[in-house]
Amino acid sequence: MSKKLADQKQSALGAASPVRSLRRSWSIGIYTGDSPLHLSSPPEIQNPVLTSREVSDVRASFVADPFMVVEDGTWYMFLEVMNEETEKGEIGLAVSRDGLRWEYRQIVLSEPFHLSYPHVFRWKDDYYMIPETLAIDAVCLYRATLFPTRWTRTGTLLPGRCADTSIFRFESKWWMFTCAPIQKSDTLRLYYSDRLGDGWHEHPLSPVVEGNARIARPGGRVIRYDGRLIRFAQDCYDSYGSQVRAFEITDLTRTTYSEKEEAASPVLRAASDGWNSEGMHHVDPVLTSEGRWVACVDGLTSWEVEEPLQPLRPEVRPCS
């Protein structure tokens, strides 16, 4: 078709203008360092190591909230995969031989409701997971019936809409942080129990953070470092998940609680450009046998895309 005929046809259909929109997406990177409080992108890999493009079994819009465990020399990463078709999160699995280079494998947990923040941990001879299940107004516990690909819900730990629940063991008890209510991400609650599966009580000083979106919402598992307990928190003051802060838990009993922010905090910040230029909100550091810390992190970026041209319909005039 000649340009003249094409122009005449477009004129008959009506002028069409390109539509530009902004797309935002989380992806996953690996940071390393000699401390979980001083981490950076290692020169031997190119971040991000996992994006929505690597997800092969569903059409994904982003990946986020990574947690790692190491079993028999293999690294396993569990992550939120946002299913673009169902518009709900599912839990995906990636594997690595060295903690640096990763291969996406498959979705390992899907429910009729949204899942995210797959906090995975080992207790005795079993692996457990506490993903965010606020869509069903509960904090639920899952156990691996065939690690790492099969998970079964074993019960409810807490009722209510709780976000990013983080569990840890200290002084022969189980402790659990969770963000509730979640509307402003400014409230952190603390619970404890003698048993993993039930018997949870809210701490008498809970909420331990209230009205402060900079430090309330959990941003990864609680870890032990240099004889101390370290809590990570998302900074959600200006925007959701802008950076990650770190706090030392200085006093923790059934009746007392105190913490102080680390001098190195915030430990993760948005970069000037690239895959994490608009925020970072999660970190999960693992100490290797060589004394190196390897952490999975996530980052947010956005880019402008041009949607396909849509011709305007010609004006239809009523008959007179």
On the question of pLDDT at 11 being above 60, the answer is no
Percent of the chain with pLDDT over 90: 85
Rounded to the nearest 5°, which phi and psi values hold at 193? Answer: -160, 155
- Measured distance CA(235)–CA(252) in Å, rounded: 23
Which pLDDT score is estimated for 240? 87
Mean pLDDT of all residues in 25-47: 97
Angle ∠(280,181,299) on CA atoms, nearest 5: 10
Comparing 320 with 253, which gets the higher pLDDT? 253
Rounded to the nearest 5°, which phi and psi values hold at 13? Answer: -80, -25
Which pLDDT score is estimated for 306? 60
Which pLDDT score is estimated for 241? 84
Place of tokens 């009722």: 159
Which pLDDT score is estimated for 178? 98
Measure CA 192 to chain center.
24
On the question of pLDDT at 279 being above 50, the answer is yes
Q: For 224-250, what is the HEC assignment?
A: EECCEEEEEEEECCCCCCCEEEEEEEE
Mean pLDDT of all residues in 49-60: 98
- pTM for the model stands at 0.89
Joined together, the tokens standing for residue 100 give: 């640096």
pLDDT band (50, 70, 90) for residue 23: confident
Query: Per mean pLDDT, which of 17-26, 137-146, 296-305 is the most reliable?
Result: 137-146
Q: Convert the pLDDT of each residue in 111-159 to its tens digit.
A: 999 999 999 999 999 999 999 999 999 999 999 999 999 999 999 999 9
Task: Name 85's Cβ contacts closer than 8 Å, sequence gap at least 6.
Answer: 58, 59
- Measured distance CA(250)–CA(260) in Å, rounded: 7
Sign of CA dihedral 27, 32, 38, 41: negative
Task: Name 299's Cβ contacts closer than 8 Å, sequence gap at least 6.
Answer: 26, 27, 28, 29, 47, 48, 270, 271, 275, 276, 277, 278, 279, 280
On the question of pLDDT at 313 being above 60, the answer is no
Cis, bond preceding 159 (omega within 30 deg of 0)? no
Mean pLDDT of all residues in 251-268: 98
**pLDDT, mean over the chain:** 91
On the question of pLDDT at 16 being above 70, the answer is no
Selection from 225, 185, 178 nearest residue 38 by Cα: 225
The domains of the chain are located at 24-303
Mean pLDDT of all residues in 45-60: 98
On the question of pLDDT at 305 being above 70, the answer is no
Selection from 295, 284, 303, 290 nearest residue 232 by Cα: 284
> Which of 119-128, 178-187, 224-233, 311-320 is the least confident region?
311-320
The HSE-up count of residue 17 (CA atoms within 13 Å, CB side) is 3
Count CB atoms within 10 A of the CB of residue 253: 11
Mean pLDDT of all residues in 165-178: 98
Q: Convert the pLDDT of each residue in 206-235 to its tens digit.
A: 999 999 999 999 999 999 999 999 999 999
Please state which CATH number belongs to domain 24-303: 2.115.10.20
Which pLDDT score is estimated for 318? 40
